[in-house]
Amino acid sequence: MAKLPKSALGRGLDALIQMDDVKTNGTSSISEIELSKIVVNKDQPRTIFDQEALEELAASISSLGLVQPITLREIGKDQYQIISGERRFRASKLAGLETIPAYIRKASDEHVMEMALIENIQREDLNPIEISLAFQNLIESYNLTQDKLSERIGKKRATVANFLRLLKLPAGIQMGLKDKKIDMGHAKAILGVDDPTVQLEIYDQILKGNFSVRKTEEIVRENNDEKAKKQQKPVGEKDKISEDYLALEALFSDLFETKIQFTCNKKGQGKITIPFQSEKDLERITSIFDSLKK
């Protein structure tokens, strides 16, 4: 698999592929292609097309024409596959068009998937689950690491990791994301709980109470606090050192406004765990450390 040069990442889709215009009688780089010669890409990351929105776009195309050409690649004699613009292609068919303006480009299967993913992300056309599945598909199909994928699509590794984590959520919550019943912030907060049953319970609470992301984070934090309390051993009269650790836990928990956990073995070795529910929550905790330095 050829490695894309890093310099290509900041130049958009054109840097990934070469232009190969279909020969026409005119000099324009845009060609008119018959709709009957175009097939969709089965690996297109976008899977949901709102019918009402398609009909509105079709009406606009009937009235004004297609403003933005779609992008195709040639896959056989007089046969083309969509790289980007399937929504415009569908709406053009609804509008009764016989041809559609298009760019014809050369691209490998791998690059077609990348280009379709990048364009949809840039246009914010994909829901979080579609993005997650597209990331997973690229990783599995082309044996990429998360680091390598982040380089290829120009996204931070943490962003890639966060989207992939969504696929660990129960199917019902994933459907809620696809249907926009909750957003990415809610899902990331729910991932702060390990138990799928509890995750679904929190999801139901969000829907019933129309809870914000902040409220969801509070619910998750309260659930984890309650779980930690149940796991704590009762402190006996002879276990004075445990009382000291519990006092420190309480002090640190108040300071960082989150449940701090201490673990310690008989030799006095241990660790302090500071959980956080989101990137914003981590920034808040980091700012507390910064203030302690002053």
Closest-CA residue to 232 (of 262, 273, 193, 276): 262
The Cα–Cα gap between 153 and 121 comes to: 10
Q: How far is CA 269 from CA 234, 240, 243, 263, in A?
A: 21, 17, 16, 8
Catalytic residue among 86, 114, 119, 130: 86
Would residue 217 show up in a list of annotated catalytic residues for this protein? no
Tokens of 135: 């990331």
Instruction: Compute and round to an integer the Cα radius of gyration of the chain.
Output: 26
Q: What is the dihedral of CA 132, 134, 136, 137, to 10 degrees?
A: 160
Q: How far is CA 188 from CA 31, 150, 152, 161, in A?
A: 44, 19, 24, 11
Q: How far is CA 176 from CA 153, 165, 186, 187, in A?
A: 26, 15, 10, 9
Annotated catalytic sites, by residue? 86
